[in-house]
Homo-oligomer: A and B are copies of this chain.
Amino acid sequence: MSKTANTALLARFIAIVGERNVLTDPADIAPHLEETRGLFHGDSPLVLKPGSAEEVSAIMKLATETGTVIVPQGGNTGHVGGQIPHDGAIVLSMARMNRIRDVDPAGGTITVESGVILQRLQEAANEAGLMFPLSLASEGTCQIGGNLSTNAGGTAVLAYGNTRQLCLGLEVVLPTGEIWNGLRRLKKDNTGYDLRDLFIGAEGTLGVITAAVMKLSPRPKSIQTVLAGVVDPDAALKLFRLAENTCGPALTGFEIMPRISLEFVLRHIEGARDPFDDAHPWYVLFEISSGQSEEAARGLMESLFEAANENGLIRDAVASETEAQRQSLWLLRESISASQKPEGGSIKHDVSVPVAKVPEFLEKADKAVRERIPGIRVVSFGHLGDGNIHYNLSQPVGADKAQYIARWREMNEIVHGIVLEMGGSISAEHGIGQLKRDELAAIRQPIEIELMRRIKMAFDPAGIMNLDKVVKV
C-alpha cells in the first residue's frame, strides 16, 4: 500500500470493531505476518477482528473511501502468501466470526460463518449424524472461509469434490461495503452469472466471504482403509483404474507415496510404524466407503484384491480393522510434510496433470531434478486419483539449507516446465497468492490475465481488496 494508514485513520478502523477486538502491539501482530513455510514476511500496523458482516461492511466502506488495503486472513495456513499483508495493509482476521448459524440435517446443509475452524465444522456435521467430507492436514487450524477462498482440496476430493463442490451459497462483503446475501441452499439454481464460483478461489481479492452454506453428506456405514505396497507409479495407476471400475463412487480416496516419505515419517513422527515386514518402492493408501454396510464395503475390497492379484498389482496390503488402525495408516500420509522439516530445506510444488499422465510426469521430473541437483531427495506424494502431486524436493543430505532454498524458483521452473508440457497446472489446490502470481501471468494467454484484471477492477474499483494477490492490476 503506497498510502500507509496514519494514526487517525487507524483509529477510525479500530472504532468500528472496538479496542477489545484489535491487535496493535507488534508482538501480538507478529503471528499474523508469517506463514508456515517462512517464505513471506509481512508487515501491518493493525489486525481487526470483526464480529459480524455489518462490521466487515463498515470496514470495507472506510477502506474504499480512504484507499486503505485490507488483507482478509483465516487460519493463516495458506501456502502461497495470499493471507500475508505488506506495505502497512490492515489484516482482517475472521477468527471471531466463528458461529455455526444453522444445521439442517433434513436438508443436508450447514450454515457457518467463515471463521469456523474446519475441524469444528466436521464435528458439527458428525453431531447431526452426517459428514462434512473436506479433510486436510491443517484441519485443526484452517478456517472454512480460507478453504473457500482457496478452493481447498485435500484427501476426499476424489469422491466429494473440492471445497467449491461442497458449497451451496455464500454471504460476501464487497470491497465497496455492500453485503451480498447469496446464502442459498439449493441443489439447482440457474439464475444468472455464477457469482458464487467467482468468489470461491478468488483468495480474498474480490470480496470478504463472511458466511457460507455447505453441503453435508450421509455418513458411510463402513469405511475400509487399505495401505498397499506397489512396485511403481504405473502399478499404482493401474490399481487406481481397477479400483474405480470395481468400486465406482464407493472409492472415496486414493493417495500415493514413495518409500522415502515413509522413511521420513518413521524417523521423525512419534507413533508412526511400518505395517509391513518388507520395504516397498511405492505405497497407495485408499478408502472404500459403503452407505449400506460393512459387509458391502468388505465385498468391494475383496473383489478389488482378487482382480489386483490376478494382475499382480499389489506386493502386499493391510486393511484397517479398527478406527485406531485407520488413524495410524493415515498418519503415514498426513505427516509427510511435517517429517520433511527435520530433513532440511524442502522446495515444494503443488501440481496436477491428467491422472493417466502421473507416472510419466514423475519419471520425467525425477530425472530432470536429479540431473540438476545430484543427491536431491524427491518426496513426491499426493492425490493420485485427482492427478495432484505434492512434488516436494528435500535437500541432499548435508547440503546448506539456505543455499538450497535459494534455488526454489530454479527448481520450480524445471518442474513446472514439465507440468505445462503435459497440460498440467502449477497450482492444483494451494492457489496463486503472491508466490505464483507472476509465474501465472507468464504462462497463461494474455487474454486470460486481462479478463481476470477486468473482473478485479469491476469488483474492486478502489483497488483495496487484498491488492496484488492472484493478479496485478
Q: Which residues of B contact A291 (CB under 8 A)?
A: 244-250
> Per-position contact with B for A430-466: 1 when CB-CB < 8 Å, else 0?
1110001000100011011101101111110000000
Q: Is the CB of A388 within 8 A of B191?
A: no
Q: Check if A42 is an interface residue, CB within 8 A of chain B.
A: no
Q: Is the CB of A194 within 8 A of B186?
A: no
Q: Check if A292 is an interface residue, CB within 8 A of chain B.
A: yes
Q: Check if A376 is an interface residue, CB within 8 A of chain B.
A: no
Q: Check if A290 is an interface residue, CB within 8 A of chain B.
A: yes
Q: Check if A346 is an interface residue, CB within 8 A of chain B.
A: no
Q: Check if A471 is an interface residue, CB within 8 A of chain B.
A: yes
Q: Is the CB of B201 within 8 A of A198?
A: no
16 A-B pairs with C-beta separation under 8 A:
A106-B241, A182-B448, A185-B423, A186-B352, A186-B353, A187-B355, A188-B387, A189-B427, A193-B452, A193-B456, A193-B470, A248-B290, A249-B249, A296-B296, A454-B458, A457-B458
Q: Is the CB of B187 within 8 A of A157?
A: yes
A191 and B355 contact, Cβ closer than 8 Å, known pairs A291-B248, A292-B246: no
Which residues of A231-255 are within 8 A (CB) of B? 241, 244-250
Q: Once bound together, how far apart are the Cα atoms of A197 and B455, in whole Å?
A: 14
For this chain, the copies found in one complex come to 2
Q: In chain B, what residue has the closest Cβ to A425?
A: B189
Q: Once bound together, how far apart are the Cα atoms of A184 and B428, in whole Å?
A: 12
Q: Which residues of B contact A440 (CB under 8 A)?
A: 191-192
Q: Check if A165 is an interface residue, CB within 8 A of chain B.
A: yes
Q: Check if A48 is an interface residue, CB within 8 A of chain B.
A: no
Q: Once bound together, how far apart are the Cα atoms of A248 and B455, in whole Å?
A: 39
Q: For chain A, which range describes its interface: under 10, 10 to 19, 20 to 34, or 35 or more residues?
A: 35 or more
Q: Check if A354 is an interface residue, CB within 8 A of chain B.
A: yes
> Per-position contact with B for A41-73: 1 when CB-CB < 8 Å, else 0?
000000000000000000000000000000000
Q: Which residues of B contact A357 (CB under 8 A)?
A: 107
Q: Is the CB of B248 within 8 A of A292?
A: yes
Q: Check if A162 is an interface residue, CB within 8 A of chain B.
A: yes
A134 CB to nearest chain B CB (Å): 14
Q: Is the CB of B388 within 8 A of A248?
A: no
Q: Is the CB of B198 within 8 A of A151?
A: no
Q: Is the CB of A188 within 8 A of B162?
A: yes
Q: Is the CB of A190 within 8 A of B429?
A: yes
Q: Is the CB of B106 within 8 A of A445?
A: no
Q: Is the CB of B352 within 8 A of A187?
A: yes
A193 and B188 contact, Cβ closer than 8 Å, known pairs A248-B292, A448-B182: no
Q: Is the CB of A448 within 8 A of B195?
A: yes
Q: Check if A426 is an interface residue, CB within 8 A of chain B.
A: yes
Which residues of A243-302 are within 8 A (CB) of B? 244-250, 289-292, 296, 299-300
Q: Is the CB of B245 within 8 A of A218?
A: yes
Q: Once bound together, how far apart are the Cα atoms of A26 and B162, in whole Å?
A: 49
Q: In chain B, what residue has the closest Cβ to A293?
A: B303
Q: Is the CB of B455 within 8 A of A181?
A: no
A209 CB to nearest chain B CB (Å): 14
Q: Once bound together, how far apart are the Cα atoms of A184 and B104, in whole Å?
A: 36
Q: Is the CB of B250 within 8 A of A248?
A: yes
Q: Which residues of B contact A178 (CB under 8 A)?
A: 447
Which residues of A84-110 are within 8 A (CB) of B? 104, 106-109
Q: Check if A386 is an interface residue, CB within 8 A of chain B.
A: yes
Q: Which residues of B contact A153 (CB under 8 A)?
A: 188, 190
Q: Is the CB of B459 within 8 A of A454?
A: yes
Q: Once bound together, how far apart are the Cα atoms of A353 and B202, in whole Å?
A: 28
Q: Once bound together, how far apart are the Cα atoms of A14 and B296, in whole Å?
A: 62
Q: Is the CB of A188 within 8 A of B245?
A: no
Q: Once bound together, how far apart are the Cα atoms of A181 and B451, in whole Å?
A: 13
Q: Which residues of B contact A430 (CB under 8 A)?
A: 190
